[in-house]
Amino acid sequence: MAKSRRVALEDVAESATQLAREKSWRFARPLKAPKWASFMLAETKRRGAKKWLKNRWQKRDIDLSVIATELDQLDRGFALAEMRRVRELVLELSEFVRHVPYVVSLLTTRKLEQLESLRISIAYYAPVWMGADEPQTRPLVSAAAVDKLMATLPRLQRLELCGHFFFPRLRHPTLRELRLEGHMPVFDGGFLVSPRPRATFGLDLPRLERLELAARNPSDGCGPPLDACTLRLDPKRLPALTHLDLHESDLGDEMERGGVFSTIARAKILPQLKTLHLRTIDLDVDDPQQALRRLAPRFDHLDRLEIDSATAAEAAAFTAGNLKYRERKRRR
């Protein structure tokens, strides 16, 4: 049904100008050759946005008309001839369990070979509203489907994914920048409760230089955060990674191995990094100052270490360790 609708729309040859008047799609000027396009369902914008979406997810009240309208708008946008020229695409979805796989299918079918930057996000994402801590046995998009998508985007340079349970792995020969926000199975080997082998999941990005991770606590601070020990970044599969940004991640140390900072100090990826951005030091040991002085040399190769919040004592320990350090904001 959806396929026949797309074919029919292509026959009509709807323009980006016509579709933009309905205010779900936006396109850069000139519309005949737009360099970027963005999508958010107009009804999502009009309904009080965050309040409406919060009620939708908390009450599990699925509005079938919204689902149908969003699918129709997505179909019509991807059917545009102008879409093949787009270099930057932003998709903010009000429904995600059904629509993330559908969008991946649309992207794969349309083969946007000029695309350099792609963002797929849940509109006004809030994991606690959307059941990110509920048991999930499989990702929304299969590994095979993700592989097909990546193969149709040869020029992709930057990818952003915001949500949870999206992709189990990412493989791309030229991707340079990646931002993941939410609970993403590419980092925990599928899912924290998954028995699947880790080798079939994760990141395999030989040209990736910059990784930003905003791992959200699915329980909104009421449950355990993502265990930092699950961030097993493999240098063999990420040989070009030099910039790691974890300052927005809600990381914990459930395995009680000395805190988040100790976990990162042991990470195999650390020696190849040039810059590292953290929220806090978070050392969970009896004598944190001694431990910090002991760990500091492991970070001494960095061109830049940025920590958003550190005590005066922690800063002093860095100085004792001759570590290049920039303190953005000192907590008392």
- Predicted local distance difference test score (pLDDT) of residue 298: 87
R_g of the chain computed on alpha carbons: 22
**pTM > 0.75:** yes
Got the DSSP string for 79-95? H-GGGGG-SEEEEEES-
- Predicted local distance difference test score (pLDDT) of residue 323: 43
Adjacency order of strands within the sheet including 36-40: 25-27, 36-40, 88-93, 117-122, 158-164, 177-183, 210-214, 243-245, 275-278, 304-310, 326-330
**What are the phi and psi torsion angles at 229 (to 5°)?**
-70, -15
Nearest to 280 by CA among 313, 306, 254: 306
Fill in the amino acid letter for 86: V
To the nearest 10°, the Cα dihedral for 24, 26, 32, 34? -140
As given in the structure block, the two tokens for residue 139 are 């990702």
Ranges of H-type helices in 47-177: 50-58, 64-79, 99-110, 143-151
- Predicted local distance difference test score (pLDDT) of residue 324: 46
Contact between 163 and 132 (Cβ < 8 Å): no
Contact between 153 and 113 (Cβ < 8 Å): yes
Contact between 159 and 169 (Cβ < 8 Å): no
Q: What span, in angstroms and rounded, lies between the C-alpha atoms of 190 and 205?
A: 17
- Predicted local distance difference test score (pLDDT) of residue 260: 80
Residue 223 CA to its chain's centroid (Å): 21
**What are the phi and psi torsion angles at 215 (to 5°)?**
-80, 105
Strand partners, 251: 226
Contact between 122 and 128 (Cβ < 8 Å): no
Residues whose CB falls within 8 Å of the CB of residue 272, separated by 6 or more in sequence, listed in order: 235, 239, 241, 242
- For β-strands 326-330 and 226-227, DSSP reports them as unpaired
Ordered per-residue pLDDT tens for the chain, 332 residues: 445 444 444 444 578 888 988 899 999 876 667 799 999 988 877 665 566 666 666 556 666 777 889 999 999 999 998 899 999 999 999 888 889 999 999 999 999 999 999 999 988 887 777 766 666 667 889 889 999 999 999 999 999 999 888 888 899 999 999 999 887 777 654 444 444 445 567 889 999 999 998 877 766 555 566 777 777 788 999 999 999 998 888 777 766 666 788 888 888 999 999 999 988 787 777 777 788 888 888 888 888 888 887 777 776 666 654 444 444 443 33
Q: What span, in angstroms and rounded, lies between the C-alpha atoms of 171 and 155?
A: 13
Q: What span, in angstroms and rounded, lies between the C-alpha atoms of 332 and 330?
A: 7
Q: What span, in angstroms and rounded, lies between the C-alpha atoms of 322 and 332?
A: 23
Q: What span, in angstroms and rounded, lies between the C-alpha atoms of 293 and 319?
A: 9
Residue 154 CA to its chain's centroid (Å): 20
To the nearest 10°, the Cα dihedral for 13, 17, 18, 20? 120
- Predicted local distance difference test score (pLDDT) of residue 136: 66
- Predicted local distance difference test score (pLDDT) of residue 182: 84
- Predicted local distance difference test score (pLDDT) of residue 31: 66
Residue ranges of E strands in 138-189: 158-164, 169-171, 177-183
